[in-house]
Every structure is written in C-alpha cells, then in structure tokens.
A = this chain, B = another copy of it.
Amino acid sequence: MKTNFEHYLEEKKDVFLKELGRYIHDLDIPNRLKESMIYSLEAGGKRIRPILLMASNEAYNSCPNKIYSSAVALEMIHTYSLIHDDLPAMDNDDYRRGKLTNHKQFDEATAILAGDGLLTYSFSIIADDPNLTDQEKVHIIQKLSKASGPQGMVAGQILDMEAEQTPVNLTSLENIHALKTGELLSFAVEIGAYLGEATKEELQYLNEFSYYLGLIFQVQDDLLDEFGDPEKLGKPVGSDVGNDKSTYPKLLTAEGAVAKKSEYLKLAENALSQAHAGDSTLAKLMNYISKRDR
C-alpha cells in the first residue's frame, strides 16, 4: 500500500519524464550522440532534483509552466556529471543504477561528448523557454552556471578526487559535498521558490535549508555506500571502505554519522520554517532523502 507521499513522488516523476522527453526526443542531432544522451537521461534514478524544484515552487506561488525548463536543464547537468564521473580516468565505474555506465554501453569518446552535449544543451533549454522573461532566464543561467561550474560542482569534483589521495577532516568534507552535491540541490530549491515569487528573506533561509539538505543527502549516501543493499542500490557497496577516502562513517563512526545527520536535520527544519515552508512537501522530501535506501 503506497502512502500519499509515494504517490506524490510517482506523479511528479511522471510529469517530469514527460517534459524531459519533449526536450530530448525531437532534438535533431547525430544518432549515436542522441542515443548516448538519452541512454543516460532515461537510466532511471529518483529524479530528486527536479522533484525538489517542483515541490519548492508549490510551496510558494505555483507556476508549473515556468519551471519545467529549469527542472530538465538541472537533470541534464546532473546526468552529464554522472557520465563524466564514471569515466575510467575518474571513478572508473562499470555500472550505475544496475545498468552499464555510458562509456561501457557506448565508448569513452561518445560518453565524453554526450556529457559535453547535455551540459551545453541545458543552457539552450533555459535561453529558449518562451514561458520565461529575459530577466528570469538570465537569473536562472547565472545560478545554474555558478552551481555547476568551476566555483561549484566542478570544484567539488576535483576536491573530491584529491581527498581520495589525502584524507581530509570534517570541515573539508562538508565543503567538498556542499560543492559537489549541495550546489545543484540548492539550485533546485532556490529556482523553484524564485519562480514562485518567494521573498528575498525566504530565499535566504531556503539557501540555508539547501546547504544542510545537501549534507544530509551526503551522509546518507556514505551510509548506503558502506551498509546499503547492493540489490536496491544497483551497485556494489563497501567500495569506499578499502581506500583512504574520507567519509562520514569513517570520520565519525556509523553512530556518529547518524547523529550528525540528526543535527543537520534540525538545522534544516529550522531554516525551512523561517522560509515559511515548514509544512510544505519540501519537509517530506528532506525526510525521504534522509532515510532513503537507494
């Protein structure tokens, strides 16, 4: 028996996938490139980022038609980052979500180009959206390029790589994850609320909420990586145990990591209340992210 919230997640995911399809299936580009981009875009996943964006918009003045381009662009950037992250020169993963990674299904060159294509196309999608004003487009592109670029996600990736060689302390670990994972989650929450005409003050509190949400996401990720169910995750567990990579359980023990997550949850809840969204679906999404098993 599914809960209302599970129904909500499914419904939003379906709406999102329909929008995603609209943007990608009509694209007139070389076959192999298109197949490779679609392969990773449709490889499943919870679609947490677009759903966060939709939920955040609903917490304020809901305007569905204005948010889909941002939701699709965001998921494309997330997907490109996974494709490049899985490459042999990076994490060298053969499987993701139980399917072959892009470079295993196609080849490395195609995977690099599919990632480049998704990243670039995401900016076209925002710039071409007839439902947005020029001012809104510029604001979204500023936020998206900063969140995903060398000051955001790409910085997080390189620091994460360095941390695999040289163990880091908790503060550095938080910084890495805020950049690598947190920036795109923040984009989702902020842009949903921005298009929903949240006030400047509300946006500031949402920024704080997103920061902790990113850390909650990451603690849970580390816990799943070590103790999760490989069936549900679609990938082997324990891969971080053997190497020197810093993780929450390694720095704090499993119990310490769980306690840290509770601490972040309280801070996130508080910020969300201040943003007048304490009763919104964002709170449910936060709890879902904190307890997810895949």
From B33, B112, B151, B154, contact of A155 by CB (8 A):
B33
Given contacts A113-B158, A162-B32, contact A127 B138 (CB under 8 A): yes
Interface residue? A1 (CB, 8 A): no
Binds B, one of A141-149, A195-203, A204-212, A219-227: A141-149
Are B117 and A149 in touch, CB under 8 angstroms? yes
Identical copies in the complex: 2
Are A141 and B127 in touch, CB under 8 angstroms? yes
Majority-rule SS of A interface residues: helix
| Contact residues in B for A229 (Cβ distance below 8 Å) | none
Given contacts A33-B155, A127-B145, contact A119 B121 (CB under 8 A): no
Are B150 and A121 in touch, CB under 8 angstroms? yes
From B135, B138, B146, B154, contact of A116 by CB (8 A):
B154
Q: How far is the CB of A123 from chain B (nearest CB, A)?
A: 4
Given contacts A33-B155, A120-B119, A158-B32, contact A108 B89 (CB under 8 A): yes
| Contact residues in B for A261 (Cβ distance below 8 Å) | none
Contact with B along A21-44 (1 / 0, CB 8 A): 000000111101110010000000
| Contact residues in B for A119 (Cβ distance below 8 Å) | 116, 119-120
| Contact residues in B for A137 (Cβ distance below 8 Å) | 134, 137-138, 141
| Contact residues in B for A109 (Cβ distance below 8 Å) | 87, 89-90, 161
Interface residue? A96 (CB, 8 A): no
Interface residue? A10 (CB, 8 A): no
Interface residue? A240 (CB, 8 A): no
A contact residues vs B (CB 8 Å cutoff): 27-30, 32-34, 37, 80, 84, 87, 89-90, 103, 107-110, 112-113, 115-121, 123-124, 127-128, 133-135, 137-138, 141-142, 144-146, 148-151, 154-155, 157-159, 161-162
Lowest 7 A-B CB distances belong to which pairs? A89-B108, A120-B149, A117-B150, A134-B134, A124-B145, A123-B145, A127-B142
